Structure 1
Amino acid sequence: MRELRVTMMGSFTLTDGREVMRYPLLHRAQSLLAIILLAPERSLLRESAAESVWPDAGADASKRAMRQALWQIHHATDAGLPESARLVLSDGEALRINPERPVLVDVDVFADAARQLRVVGPDGLTDADVARLARAAELYRGPLLAGCYDEWCLAPRARLDDRALTLLDALSRAAERQGQLDAAIGWAQRLLDVEPAHERTHRRLMRLYHRTGDRTRALRQLHRCRWTLQHELGVDPSALTEELGAAIGADLSPEAVPLERVPPERAPVLPAPTSPGGRVAALEAFRAELAAVRLSIDAIGEQLRDAPA
């Protein structure tokens, strides 16, 4: 039995490992298969699936639509296979992916790489880690189920985009540490394709371009950053970005300007008590501390009086 491969980052595709399936799924069938594959343990209650994929349909209409979508999935993925080998199994009130069917999902591979990155951290990546993350990054071809605007996919789409930003940023940092400036630039550009207003990445590109000797391109990146932040968010670049631009404009070393400032540590501020009982307790504690201080002062005074002149 050949491995089934499902691509959900960008456009939805379904292949049997060699070619695109002969019978492509319609939009709702794609959504149904996707939501089951993305569910924990690849299992989802029928009712939850119906409410997510057909939110505006009544109970009877959503049941009919689900039967049609399941038939499409069966027709596209189970040709020539016994019923026990079907891709989507129905267990009473739940729909689940058959654990006996080998299925490779691009989102799962990408999520595994993101989890690995969280474990080792961006500064602890080995060459093997970087290679694995790079392979995962190549799978990201766009937002989850591009063209699908159903409410159910918005949250997983946002999580996937966040993972893409983290992964691409780590790859750019790793390449820069290794002196692979062209690769670092490429990963940073990919990140801006996902999030054009990512200001820190604009700064990284400015610095990378300057390191390659292309001051003109570095300054153009500053202008692009200004334009993007204004049009996307209605804000100006931070003082740090402008400081970096000024250093590059003066042909000074931009290495002295950090990519981000670490805020100074602040002393913890204890919350003020809000309830009457809390205020009374706080006042009593303050009085006790004040009494202790007074005793200490009195003791010191007695010692001074008793001390020989």
Structure 2
Amino acid sequence: MTTRTGRKEVPEGSKRLLVFVALRRRRVERRCVAGALWPVGGDERASGNLRSALWRLRLAGIDLIDADKWSLRLGDRVGVDVHAVSDWANRLIRHTAAGADLAMPAVLPEALDLLPGWYEEWALMERERIRQQALHALEALSRKLVQAGRYAEAVDAALMAVNVEPLRESAQRALIEVHLAERNWIEGRRAFEAYRQLVRRELGAEPSADLLPDIVQA
């Protein structure tokens, strides 16, 4: 973690607490935090673990959590990269994106693989939420870039979605659409054939019949 005064190491026993609170945009009840992070051992033990984790943060000079007797929240002055990615994705998905949103956030790759190695239920759910949101945004971004005539960037956006989830047909469709918009029929056909082989091998199925226009299938 980096602050204005330099880099500080978050105590191991407090990392999950800081992340759990940081991922939320509102106050969270202490008992909810304690129960999610320390589900084994009863409420009293979980509350004690929460107090210890908060104490370790203060001891390390990391004063980022605003805590009162009943609840916790991240301090107002703290920025969270995942929130920035989520806001960017929502603007694209809701068709309210501005010109600056046509550039992928630098932290997008990290957001697509949020909290690797963390397998608690809350972490898995948050990882999947951000992943799905970002994938939809990448597909929308690719199409907006096509409309702007920025084909190379559109390919990059579609390929990022495809690389994250190769079996995702909507991502493959976005990639094929870029190639066809550039009138690169061979590239479109090649992308379709690669996807068809993957679906046959992995799922024993066929892509949607309308994935590749008749003009290219012929």
Q: Percent identity?
A: 29
Provide the residue aligned with 1:258 in structure 2: none
Provide the residue aligned with 1:197 in structure 2: 167
CA distance in 1, matches of 2:93, 2:176: 27
Which residue of the other structure, out of 41, 51, 61, is the alignment partner of 2:35?
51
State the shift of 1:34 in Å. 1.7
* Structure 1 residue matching 2:28: 3-state secondary structure: strand
Which residue of the other structure, out of 58, 61, 72, is the alignment partner of 1:95?
72
Provide the residue aligned with 2:80 in structure 1: 105
Tell me how large the CA RMSD over aligned residues is: 2.7
- Please, which runs of 5 or more residues in structure 1 have no aligned partner? 1-13, 79-85, 251-309
Alignment of 1:16 onto 2:3: yes
Letter in 1 for 2:101: R
Letter in 2 for 1:139: V
CA distance in 1, matches of 2:188, 2:93: 31
Alpha carbons of structure 1 residues 183 and 17: separation in structure 2 relative to 1, 3 Å: farther
Which residue of the other structure, out of 85, 103, 116, is the alignment partner of 1:146?
116
Moved more, 64-73 or 180-189: 64-73
State the shift of 1:207 in Å. 4.0
State the shift of 1:208 in Å. 2.9
CA distance in 2, matches of 1:116, 1:214: 30
The answer as to whether partners of 1:206 and 1:222 remain within 8 angstroms in 2 is yes
Alpha carbons of structure 1 residues 225 and 145: separation in structure 2 relative to 1, 3 Å: same
State the shift of 1:196 in Å. 2.0
TM-score, normalised to structure 1, is 0.60
* Structure 2 residue matching 1:96: 3-state secondary structure: strand
CA distance in 2, matches of 1:227, 1:74: 55
State the shift of 1:202 in Å. 1.6
State the shift of 1:199 in Å. 1.2
CA distance in 2, matches of 1:88, 1:195: 35
CA distance in 2, matches of 1:95, 1:220: 52
What is the correspondence of 1:12-91 to structure 2 with a 5 Å cutoff?
Answer: 14-17=1-4, 21-26=7-12, 29-41=14-26, 43-78=27-62, 86-91=63-68
State the shift of 1:22 in Å. 3.2
What is the correspondence of 1:294-305 to structure 2 with a 5 Å cutoff?
Answer: none
* Structure 1 residue matching 2:66: 3-state secondary structure: strand
Paired residue total: 216
Q: Whose radius of gyration is greater, 1 or 2?
A: 1
Provide the residue aligned with 1:247 in structure 2: 215
CA distance in 1, matches of 2:4, 2:40: 36
Moved more, 203-212 or 164-173: 203-212
CA distance in 1, matches of 2:164, 2:60: 32
CA distance in 2, matches of 1:60, 1:53: 13
- 1:47-69 CA distance string (max 9 Å, x none): 11111111223334323432332
- Please, which runs of 5 or more residues in structure 2 have no aligned partner? none
Alpha carbons of structure 1 residues 116 and 217: separation in structure 2 relative to 1, 3 Å: closer
The answer as to whether partners of 1:77 and 1:87 remain within 8 angstroms in 2 is no
Letter in 2 for 1:96: R
CA distance in 1, matches of 2:64, 2:194: 47
CA distance in 2, matches of 1:18, 1:30: 19
What is the correspondence of 1:223-238 to structure 2 with a 5 Å cutoff?
Answer: 223-230=193-200, 233-238=203-208
What is the correspondence of 1:92-241 to structure 2 with a 5 Å cutoff?
Answer: 92-99=69-76, 102-119=77-94, 121=95, 125=97, 129-136=98-105, 138-141=106-109, 142-210=112-180, 212=182, 215-230=185-200, 233-241=203-211
Alpha carbons of structure 1 residues 90 and 22: separation in structure 2 relative to 1, 3 Å: closer
Alpha carbons of structure 1 residues 186 and 69: separation in structure 2 relative to 1, 3 Å: same
